[in-house]
Copies of this chain bind each other. A is one copy, B any other.
Amino acid sequence: MSPPEAVRAATAPEVELGEFLAGCAREVDAFLDRALPRATGPAATLGSAMRYAVLGGGKRIRPALAMASAIAVGGRLQDALPVAGALEMVHTYSLIHDDLPCMDDDDLRRGQPTVHVRYGEAIAVLAGDALHTLAFDTIAGSDGPPEVRLGCVERLAAAAGPAGMVGGQVLDMEAETRTPDTRGLEAIHRGKTGALISASVALGALAGGGTVRQADALGAFGRELGLVFQIVDDLLDEEQTSARLGKSAGKDRAAGKATYPAIHGTRGARAEASRRAGIAHELLAAVGEEPGPPVKSDGMRLLGALTDRILHRSA
């Protein structure tokens, strides 16, 4: 068997993945509940809005990736809790700001009114800002060797900043007036979604005791996985209802946005997502060759199963 087939044959059964995802969500939700400011006392509105945005649902994909990655390098799920919480904070801050009237102007998120609809625009801006800061505070103030925490801060900042997520969002905005080609679209996806998904896997590896080389190799797997995630996201925006997605569907087409389905058709986009998932599996299989603690098959299996789940998800 070639490496990607070997990995696919070893993927965890759906039931194991389901239990893992439920466990991750439970752990990270409890962690976030402790880490977020209370919704009482002075500036209670801020804490309330932060909690509403973070604890009001969400698939917790980034925390699950971080935790599976920690397990893959021989660590424990719990080792990745602070980075998992921080990743979810950064993800949520970006959603709050993305949904603002001056950005995508969305009323619905995770099946609920968006933060600015519920709390007003000013509090939405500030709640996003506060989550953004708290993410770095959470990693810096966690346990573990200083150089590991510092490496996590640095990679998270690189992924979230102008060369990553925020840069991707600007490219995405610019694409509404100037249609990008396939390469341009890939650059948007790599920034807007891919950078943080890649960072999720890399940070989990560092927090779980993996080496920088292992974190880099897992990050490369995460970059392809990020592309899969975004192509499928674009497909779901075309194919699914708002009720199922918990956010407004059909917005890309209405905005005349360049997406994989718009450029390559639905079947072409599906094929590209599958091809990218195959590359992701290959890169995952290659992680074991990097110097560091021996990789663990249960963690690797979870990462493989997460890849397939992300490829085949319907919401």
Contacts and interface: CB of A to CB of B under 8 A. Distances in A.
B125 A154 contact: no
Given A125-B102, A136-B153, A149-B150, A46 B167 contact: yes
Interface residues of A, number: 50
Contacts of A13: none
Interface in A91-133: 93-94, 97, 100, 102-103, 120-123, 125-126, 128-130, 132-133
Nearest to A151: B140
Interface string A147-188: 101100110011011110011011101100000000000010
A137 interface: yes
B154 A141 contact: yes
A115 B170 CA distance: 15
A137 B157 contact: yes
A154 B130 contact: no
Interface centre among A133, A146, A149 (most CB of B within 10 A): A133
Contacts of A129: 93-94, 97, 128-129, 132, 166
12 contacts: A37-B162, A43-B174, A43-B191, A93-B129, A125-B125, A132-B132, A133-B162, A134-B162, A137-B154, A137-B157, A137-B161, A150-B150
Interface of A: 37, 42-43, 45-47, 50, 93-94, 97, 100, 102-103, 120-123, 125-126, 128-130, 132-134, 136-137, 140-141, 146-147, 149-150, 153-154, 157-158, 160-163, 166-167, 169-171, 173-174, 187, 191
